[in-house]
Amino acid sequence: MQFRAPIDAIAPGCLIIYSLTECSLNYCSFKSNVFKTQEVTFADTKETIVKGGRDLFPLLPKAFEGIKKIGVIGWGSQAPAQAQNLRDSLAEVGSDITVSIGLRKGSSSFSEANECGFSEEAGTLGEMFDVIKESDLVILLISDAAQATLYKEIFAAMKPGATLGLSHGFLLGYLDSIGESFPENMDVIAVCPKGMGPSVRRLYEQGKDVNGAGINSSFAVHQDKSGKATELALGWGVALGSPFMFETTLRSEYCSDIYGERGILLGAVHGIVESLYRRYQRQGMTPEQAFLETSESITGKIVKIISTQGIKAVYEQFNDADKAEFQKAYSASYMPAKEILQEIYDEVSSGNEIRTVIMHGKRINKFPVGKIDGTDTWIVGEKVRANRDEDKIPINPFTAGVYIATMMAQIDVLLEAGHPYSEVVNESVIEAVDSLCPYMHYRGVAFMVDNCSFTAKTGSRKWAPRFDYILDQLAYTAVDNGVPVNQQLIKDFEQHPVHSAVEECCKLRPAVDISLFAETSTKEIVIQ
């Protein structure tokens, strides 16, 4: 059963937790005996958070009390980042906790783990099930498909009293879909960085001389048999370098996360760029100018304003003529985008989207996933990036209107489903502008699709064409046919309470901007 409620019907500071079978209200307010919590006002609600920072590292031994060995299982993108950050943070305060990597026997990633300082000789690298058996905290970062295949063996291998750590709620979604659950005799927690692994590591390294530089994380305590699960989850987030951590649930996380990557984080932005790139050429632009006015405008200028000043700041910097152009695009795009976004949310929350990923995984050997970076859009994009002058990238008001209308529609779908502002803003805004879009700007949107996790890739490739189609068929057609601007939609946008929530989150953003350079040739960028 799915629960929807208007945001004003939800008590301040509440989080709706929903599953396939039941709905219940739980207040998202938590306590910690180790870390200082604080109450933050996001729009019309108050939420409890923990602000991270390197000054909190001396508290890590207490948060990790009882943990002697942490096993980080896998080596995609999150795993190397999290393992190195955990290792470095704990070492900085003289902790004797061992951080070990567990990999499939014969995995080619053994050499990469060696290069990052993990070794079999030192007891910090080994076969995955051997590491699982020895670990007090098992951080499971193998692919979603592998988790769905191996979960029974993993649960059986864990020693009594060990804690299972996740960075994504997919496994719970899969267990929900088949009527199973986690073993009752273990703690189950999650720390979910709101960005890619390379961002988690890069900002951590950049922040070694800057307190509070990293990627925001949500955390969840799904099962707490020991009574220590919250402290352990918060310690994990602090050790990763998260500037702030907010509470969620595993179900809420997988619904918002899987939904978000199909929306404005990846799938929607891909569809927006492709549709506008063609539109602008029909209007007489060269391919190079069309790419500048679409992809470059979004990833190079629009998101940078949103990152530091908020969503509405993009609109407010336009002159009257450009505001009118923004309004036309926003008014025409909001409802078509929301129609698709609501469908995506329904597919995710019902379990259908998770089943789609699993079924796709079973077909993968017969139908390998090809790359999508060969279209004219992305070939031209390579040329534009090679000759880029950042100062000459335009802020196209029509492009901004389409992009922001889609972002706002995604926000509204999440708010109407009862997600708290912290989660809504991080999954719809912060992750886009502070983590994913900088990489898109560096390597291209198609590169992101081709190199993201299987779950994200499956979803973005499925839904991006839907955004492309509906915008081209409904939104742009409405503009071309002179359909009047819906002034109520514009007023709703101007007065939306999310703007103050975004501005509050901007104050809690990473202390430095992520830097990207040539060595960023990650073999797989995993969006979690």
Measured distance CA(159)–CA(163) in Å, rounded? 9
CA 500 → CA 178, 215, 431, distances in Å?
Answer: 40, 21, 17
From residue 292, alpha-carbon distances to 212, 272, 326 in Å are: 34, 13, 17
Question: Is the four-CA dihedral 439, 444, 447, 452 of positive or negative sign?
Answer: positive
Binding site listing for Mg(2+): 257, 261
Give me the sign of the Cα torsion angle 475, 428, 354, 342.
negative
Structure token pair of residue 36: 């200082």
Strand 125-127 versus strand 187-193 pairing type: unpaired
Alpha helices, DSSP H, located in 192-286: 197-206, 229-240, 250-262, 267-282
Q: What does the block give as tokens for 479?
A: 């503009």
360 Cβ contact partners less than 8 Å away, ≥ 6 residues apart: 454, 458
For residue 474, give Cα distances in angstroms to 279, 481, 491: 13, 10, 21
- 327, exposed or middle or buried, with CB in 10 Å at 0-12, 13-18, 19+? buried
499 is catalytic: no
Q: Which of 160, 106, 168, 170 is nearest to 132 (CA)?
A: 160
CB 243 within 8 A of CB 216: yes
Return all residues near 463 (Cβ < 8 A) that are at least 6 apart.
262, 263, 267, 268, 271, 340, 344
Q: How many helices (H) and strands (E) does the chain have?
A: 25, 12
Under DSSP, the state recorded for 243 is: S
Estimate to the nearest angstrom the gap between the alpha carbon of 213 and the chain centroid: 17
Task: Give the three-class secondary structure for 388.
Answer: coil
C-alpha closest to that of 7 among 38, 45, 63, 37: 45
3-class state of residue 144 by DSSP:
helix
Helix (H) or strand (E) holding 190: strand 187-193
**Closest-CA residue to 102 (of 72, 76, 77, 123):** 72
Q: Which of 168, 270, 441, 496 is labelled catalytic?
A: 168
Which parts are annotated binding residues?
A: 257, 261
Length of the chain: 528
Catalytic residues: 168
